[in-house]
Amino acid sequence: MSKRDELIEKYAADIKDKIGETVDMDLLTKVTIGLGPSIYNADSSTVSGSDASEVERVKTNFLIKKLGLKDGPELDEAIAKVMEQYGVSNRNKYRAVVYYLLVKHFNKASVY
């Protein structure tokens, strides 16, 4: 099993255990592959929900540029909802899981 496959399994377990959702493995795999080498770096593989610049980066680089959404309060609300869903006290919020949940929230699986 490759390192990427191991990470995808870890992300799937996080979604099942911490969020309680059934995982769309095909979509999770595509989102993870889309993140490229950032999933292997300890700092870039996670998202800090309490860091305003990090949240802004997710909004700008992922929701607006990648998913093609228009900027507005609904983007901030969606990020806040996903952070709440993932668990505010959970310190390791994996970027692939956060992005996966945002893709599902906005029903944008077609981008992948």
Residues 6+ apart with CB under 8 A from 44: 38, 95
Are 91 and 9 spatial neighbours (Cβ–Cβ below 8 Å)? no
Domain ranges of the chain: 3-111
Alpha helices in 1-112 (DSSP H): 3-14, 25-34, 52-57, 73-86, 95-105
Q: What is the pLDDT of residue 63?
A: 97
pLDDT tens track for 22-65: 999 999 999 999 999 999 998 899 998 888 999 999 999 999 99
Structure confidence at residue 102 as a pLDDT band (50, 70, 90): very high
Q: Which CATH number fits domain 3-111: 1.10.10.10, 1.10.238.120, 3.40.50.1820, 3.40.50.150?
A: 1.10.238.120
User: What's this model's pTM, rounded to 2 decimal places?
Assistant: 0.94
Q: What is the pLDDT of residue 91?
A: 80
